[in-house]
Structure 1
Amino acid sequence: MTKISGAVGAMALAATLTLAAGLPAAAADKVIHMGTMSWEDLTPITGITKKVLEDKGFTVEVTDFSEWGIAYAALTRGDIDIIASQTDYVTHDYWVKNMNALEKISPVSHGLYQAIAVPSYVDIASLEDLNAHAAEFGGKIIGIEPGSGLMRDAATAVEEYGLGLELVEGSTGAMTAALKAASDRKEWIAVTVWDPSWMMMKYDLKFLADPKGIFPAAQSYYWIGTKGFSAAQPTAREAIASVFVPLNDITTINAAVNEGKTMNTAVADWIADHADLVSRWEDIKSE
């Protein structure tokens, strides 16, 4: 997935336990240490939930992690209180390994899907159609970073479907550039991609059918926390559980960022456009 460089920006404060420890007990109880990954799907979820918690009187300190293993270790140690994660597939191993020290708070979005896609003008519908049109695709499927879950699944698909196309390892940036160039010329191209992504909207992509079920089904996003968080912070838990951000809205926010807005501005604009909904989220029980 595409990383948002500096995406959390001003909303990311250094999450340090020493700060909370120096506050009076009542004030420390109102501090929520939130983790995030700077991916384009998770950053809007983090920003929107942060705003809802702040409107309920909490101070939210955000720590940005570069890898899921580091993030889960911090959550298990209690360095952070909560983080949004896709526990069904993307982070399933980390969840299972640490679940006795954690709790699942609530779902916050649904529909993440990663697979092989083509522009809508490409006249095929299934992975099974690729071999018959290998020449039109230049004998290649344009991939992203090696070692990612998406690339592992794509490699499995190449093997299971007996595809004669080369899965090209590279980077998200290189894949995006190749996709833009091909789309501008209306050439055929197959890429490894995910939804939500601004690319799905900008380039009008369609996922190829996967009759063998190689790629995981649509995944949900959950807020997860350190064990006992909900009992210790019932008002925060109520606020977090009220938030649900549809996948299309995440895509819209990231499309705005791709067009030049900062993530903070795009999230703020979304909140302003959905002020009535957000106010309903905030009508919750207090401690």
Structure 2
Amino acid sequence: MQISLAAAVKLKRRAAASKITRPLSGGRRRRSFSITRSYPKSINKLFVTPSRSWPYSHQDGRHDRLPLRCPNIRFCGRAITKLHRISGDKLMRVKKAFKVLVAVMACSVLHVMPASADQPPIRIGWINWADAEITAKLAAKAIEDQTGRPVKLVMADLGIQFQALATKNVDVVPMVWLPGAHKSYWEKYSSQVEDLGVIYDGKIGWAIPDSIPASEVSSIEDLNKPGIAEKFGNRILSAEAGNGQYKLSEKAITEYGLKGYKLLASSEAGMLSELARDQSREKWSIINAWNPHWMFAKWKLRYLTDPKQIFGGTEHIHVVSRLGFTKDEPKVATFLRHYTLPLSDLEAMQMEAKDSSADKVVDAYYLKNKARFAAMFN
């Protein structure tokens, strides 16, 4: 039987006014109701529970519980566990008090929620390279922790990332290698993006195992020596076809007049797997290498000298954003302008991530260097 709260109070008042004590059949007496809250898991339900003298079965000792829904009062947690024998005026005061309490709590929740909760995420584009993954995820960790803003990581090839920057479908790409590796992209899109600065320095070029005698091969020019191409299996191992370094490799083959060599493009993981197989079989390999990268810690490799400077000298890894990002997101842009990583730290994180995961390494490094990252936002 379902009754309203008002009906329950009305019954209570009638019982109190008439002081009914007339025994019913079986010698039982009828007394007023007591109103109790339901179990804690059902916060918004109340029950009218008969008091001790309410008719019940003496055989099983169970009180009958009559469900009562209360649409006007919302009880919060365990603030009230029982409303027992209270007058109508008191009940109205309790109702008003709880309405005020609920309003205050709601305002408190809204107050502590970050103002950026409804703002769109910062979109960081990255490429599936070992250093790029750590760089992007570390920036995302710092932004989320220091500003409360959500961050969305978007993985794609570099050409797609530049297109996304130009069309403002991505906010930031923290892995543009200049002046050499990504020169072609920069020449095409530089007027449509913002350069926020350098995170770390690196190097690109062709590398070979250090076990290959330098007297036989020490520079790219030496690859033209008779019989050398066959020793390398006529292959130059590379990562993604079409990226900046791949195009520079094509240029190097042409400029140095290398005959009988073919660029074998794969993913970074595929390229390194092939290198590992060659190393286990003591085969010669040429790899389209770059550092920072854990490959130089795992294997003894050396760069071939580049007399014609096709691959350039030192590369600078830049943070590049869409046009208008600094104006739209000044605090995040300030951080990215100050965002730097020591090369030794980045290489150490890459090596650790190979045996665990980039996420775990990034979390540990950020926690250890949190104060330094916080300063980058000022």
- Scaled to the shorter chain, the TM-score interval is 0.7 to 0.9
Residue pair 1:118, 1:207 contacting (<8 A) in 2 also: yes
Q: State the one-letter code of the partner of 1:171.
A: S
Give the whole-Å Cα distance in 1 for the aligned partners of 2:228 and 2:247. 21
Once the 2 structures are TM-superposed, how far is the Cα of residue 81 of structure 1 from its aligned partner? 2.2
Look up the SS of the partner of 1:86 in the other structure. strand
Alpha-carbon distance between aligned partners in 2 of 1:36 and 1:200, rounded to the nearest angstrom:
22
1:126 counterpart = 2:219 = yes
Query: Closer, same or farther in 2 for the Cα pair 1:135/1:39, shift >3 Å?
Result: closer
Say yes or no: does 1:190 pair with 2:282. no
What's the C-alpha RMSD, in Å, of the aligned pairs?
2.9
Go from structure 1 to structure 2 and tell me whether the alpha carbon gap of 1:136 and 1:235 turns closer, same or farther (over 3 Å shift). Answer: same
CA distance in 1, matches of 2:242, 2:157: 13
Q: Which secondary structure does the structure 2 equivalent of 1:209 belong to? A: coil
Of residues 33, 36, 39, the one that matches 2:129 is 39
Contact (CA 8 Å) 1:137, 1:190: kept in 2 or not?
no
In the alignment of these two chains, the number of paired residues is 259
Report the AA paired with residue 375 of structure 2.
D
For 1:140-179, list aligned pairs within 5 A: 140-144=234-238, 145-172=240-267, 173-179=269-275
* Structure showing greater Rg: 2
Distance 2:377 2:305 in 1: 45
- What are the superposed Cα offsets for residues 40-82 of structure 1, whole Å, 9 maximum, x if unpaired? 2211111111122122123232232323333223223333322
Q: Deviations over 1:10-50 (max 9, x none)?
A: xxxxxxxxxxxxx9975455842322223222111111111
In terms of mean alpha carbon deviation, does 206-215 or 73-82 score higher? 73-82
Distance in 2 between the 1:136 and 1:169 partners? 15
> Percent identity at matched positions?
25
Among 226, 230, 255, the residue aligned to 2:351: 255
Corresponding residue for residue 64 of structure 1: 154
Give the 3 Å change call, closer, same or farther, for CA 27–196 of structure 1 in structure 2: same
Instruction: Tell which deviates more after alignment, 208-217 or 183-192.
Output: 183-192
| Aligned pair partner of 1:236 in 320, 324, 332 | 332
Q: Offset of 1:174 from its aligned partner?
A: 4.8
Task: Name the SS of the counterpart of 2:200 in structure 1.
Answer: strand
Q: Which of 201, 207, 211 is the matching residue for 1:110?
A: 201
Q: Give the equivalent residue in structure 1 for 2:173.
A: 83
So what's the TM-score if we normalise by structure 2? 0.60
Counterpart residue number, 2:296: 200
Instruction: After superposing the two structures, state which structure 1 stretch, 180-189 or 216-225, moved more.
Output: 180-189
Structure scoring higher RCO (CA < 8 A, sep ≥ 6) equals 1
Q: TM-score, normalised by structure 1?
A: 0.76
Deviations 1:219-251 (A, max 9, x none): 222222222322333222222223212334333
